[in-house]
Amino acid sequence: MLRLIHQGSRSTVLASLVLTLTLVSDAVLYLLLPLFFDSFGLTVLWVGILLSANRFVRLFVNPWLVPWFQYFGARTALLQAVVLASAASLSFVFLFSPWTLLFARLLWGCAYALMRLACLHYATEEPERRMINLGWYTSIQEMGPLLVILLTPLLVVHISAQAVLLLAFVLCLLALIPALALPVPHTDRGVATGAQWPWPDAWHRLTFLLCLLFDGVWTVILAPLLVATGWSIPMALTITSALLVSKRIYNTTLGLLTVRFDIWRHKRFWLVTALGLMLVACSLMGLHVVLLASVLGILGHGAFMILVPKLLSDRAGTALERQQTLNTFTFWRDLAAAVGALLASALIAWQSAAEFYGMGGIVLLGLLIALYYGERHRSSTSPHSTE
């Protein structure tokens, strides 16, 4: 099958397959732990700690990821990540103590950080195929979690939650196959630079805000907001599930369209359109028009998250700079997800989600104005401009 894929995209496809296969072991926990925590010997408090620990550990290890990649290389780092992910998945199969499961979640967080940076590294390695490879990465990484959402409820009924976790562990082991199939680099092991704090530029700050608004907070607050605007609880849950599934299907479809067609020929136009959709979505959320705002947010956020890595990669002068800016991109995205889950709980308790999105829209508009003038200044001072 790999022979049908362009040589310049094979490494991206293989790395993305590794990520999506191992992601199953993480995605099933978000469905199973809140429902079957007694079976795992856990309390509800432990469920929250375990499901958030992997996010927070990624923030702490982030400054060391690029030096790690420089020293070991992307292929070795990816193999290390599969081993860590398999060990983490196996811990839940054997139902170890909560503290051991917490350590397993920390391992998983480190594994995911390595795998994601490896995928972005391979996807942006060849400048002329960056957009297509980012399409492969986007579509493939969504497939594992999407299948989890669709199939886990059926599997739990016909087998058991423990059997589902065992199946997820087997998929982690199978991820070794595409990882080992990656080409062995011919260069010697690199010399690592020191750890570097991921300070954000304008695009990283914008990424943080948009991921906070339309990922971290939105995912948690969507169902309560629908109930607050008059929907019944069963209907709100149904709509929320449908939107979450639709978001993954949309991202997968967007990635496949990127691979097959040149849909991003006018990248600046589509980036401005995506930002405009999310700005309108913020305003609508502030006005309690939750359903339409969510659809617009999904459309804009999906396009933004596939276009910005391309923009950041094109602006990097060297391979090291490319890894650093992509690593910074993932850091601020992770921070938004981690902070968003905590912030959403406070917004629900204070019943102030609409006010939050209204203020978020104002901040977003300010960032866009600052970004516009910053881009104009950059184009006037730089001989190379990004489309």
Sequence-ordered alpha helix ranges (H) in 192-317: 202-211, 217-228, 233-260, 267-286, 290-315
- Of the candidates 279, 303, 298, 244, the residue with the CA atom closest to the CA atom of residue 362: 279
The domain spans of the chain are 1-183+191-197, 199-378
CA-atom Rg of the chain in angstroms: 21
First to last CA, the chain: 34
Nearest-angstrom CA–CA distance, 81 and 19: 9
Q: Residue 296: pLDDT above 60?
A: yes
Q: What is the pLDDT of residue 125?
A: 92
Choose among 186, 203, 255, 247: nearest CA to 12.
Answer: 255
Exposed/middle/buried for residue 318 (C-beta within 10 Å: 0-12, 13-18, 19+): exposed
Asked whether the domain spanning 199-378 has the same topology as the one spanning 1-183+191-197, the reply is yes
pLDDT for residue 290 is more than 70: yes
pLDDT at 193: 65
- The DSSP letter of residue 190 is P
> Which pLDDT score, from 0 to 100, does residue 387 have?
43
Selection from 287, 290, 328, 281 nearest residue 309 by Cα: 328
pLDDT in tens, 48-85: 788 888 988 999 999 899 899 888 999 999 999 999 99
What distance in Å separates the CA atoms of residue 17 and residue 304, rounded to the nearest whole number? 22
Q: Are 108 and 85 in contact (CB under 8 A)?
A: yes
Non-local (6+) Cβ contacts of 116 within 8 A are 19, 330
Residue 142, pLDDT > 70, answer: yes
**C-alpha separations of 273 from 215, 265, 297 in Å:** 19, 14, 12
The residue ranking higher by pLDDT, 97 or 382, is 97
- Residue by residue, DSSP assigns 70-91 as HHH-HHHHHHHHHHHHHHHHHH
| pLDDT tens figures, 21-39 | 999 999 888 888 877 888 8
CATH code that applies to domain 1-183+191-197: 1.20.1250.20
The CATH homologous superfamily for domain 199-378 is MFS general substrate transporter like domains (1.20.1250.20)
